[in-house]
Amino acid sequence: MPYIQIISFPASDALQADPALAKESAEIISAKEGLISAWMGFQVEDSKIAYLISVWTSPDAHEKLKASPEFPRLQSNLKENLFAGPPTFDFVELDQDHTHTFEAPYTRFGILKTKDGQSKEEVRSQLVALKDLSISQAFKGAHHPAGLGELVGKPGSFITLSGWDSPEGYGNAAASDAGKPAVAKLIDLADRVSVAHVQLRKYKAGPTGIN
């Protein structure tokens, strides 16, 4: 399954004015073996927050990028041209292919942390149940199925990636008669860390990409 790096950060004024600036960073990594694709977009809830995503075939492929001669140039480009403040780095190995989720009009990034005294296995099980419910109920505007995984280096913290036709899609599904009890059970097990909806644009695919 794909290994995904998710960088969220306050976007520089230059990036907000010209999102094509992110393409340089994408091109630096595009020739690296193991890169599947790179994506960038701005958060709906706060348009000054940007997301830069790279999708790899494995953790080793990403580690090879970090050890490459081009990595310092990549870091410099990010800091000088894209970041206007400290970034947040998250890594996840999803339970399935991500492509349809990122290609949806809006991608929802939801991060949850297992509550003290609760089991992360129960949280995962409930997230899977919600994913299955979304399919069985055919919630309007959902791009099935959602992807989920435990964040690397953050035991008990999970991210769900789901595609929607609109930012309101998940909220409408969660408020439905079928969705309410399932979401309520999840709230009993885990705390919401963050939620964001992002319109993603795909940049240059790598040599092992599907395009």
Would you say residue 60 lies in a domain?
Answer: yes
Q: How many angstroms separate the Cα of 147 from the Cα of each of 40, 70, 80, 99, 207?
A: 18, 31, 32, 10, 24
Q: How far apart are the first and last CA of the chain?
A: 17
User: What pLDDT is stored for residue 99 in this prediction?
Assistant: 87
Q: How confident is the model at residue 205 (pLDDT cuts 50, 70, 90)?
A: low
- Give the percent of the chain with pLDDT over 90: 83
What is the C-alpha separation between 90 and 114, in angstroms, rounded?
A: 17
Average pLDDT over residues 67-88: 95
Reported as a single tens digit per residue, the pLDDT across 105-139 is 999 999 999 999 999 999 999 999 999 999 999 99
Contact between residue 94 and residue 137 where contact means Cβ atoms under 8 Å apart = no
Reported as a single tens digit per residue, the pLDDT across 148-183 is 999 999 999 999 999 999 999 999 999 999 999 999
- Give the percent of the chain with pLDDT over 70: 96
The verdict on 19 and 104 lying in the same domain is: no
Alpha-carbon torsion, ordered 148, 90, 87, 111, to 10 deg? 40
The verdict on 130 and 165 lying in the same domain is: yes
The residue from 44, 68, 96 where one domain ends is 96
Contact between residue 197 and residue 45 where contact means Cβ atoms under 8 Å apart = yes
Report the DSSP beta bridge partners of residue 191: 113
Q: What is the CATH number of the domain that holds 47?
A: 3.30.70.100
The verdict on 124 and 83 lying in the same domain is: no
Range of the domain at 40: 3-96
pTM: 0.92
Number of compact structural domains in the chain: 2
The verdict on 103 and 69 lying in the same domain is: no
| DSSP designation for 48 | T
Contact between residue 88 and residue 9 where contact means Cβ atoms under 8 Å apart = yes
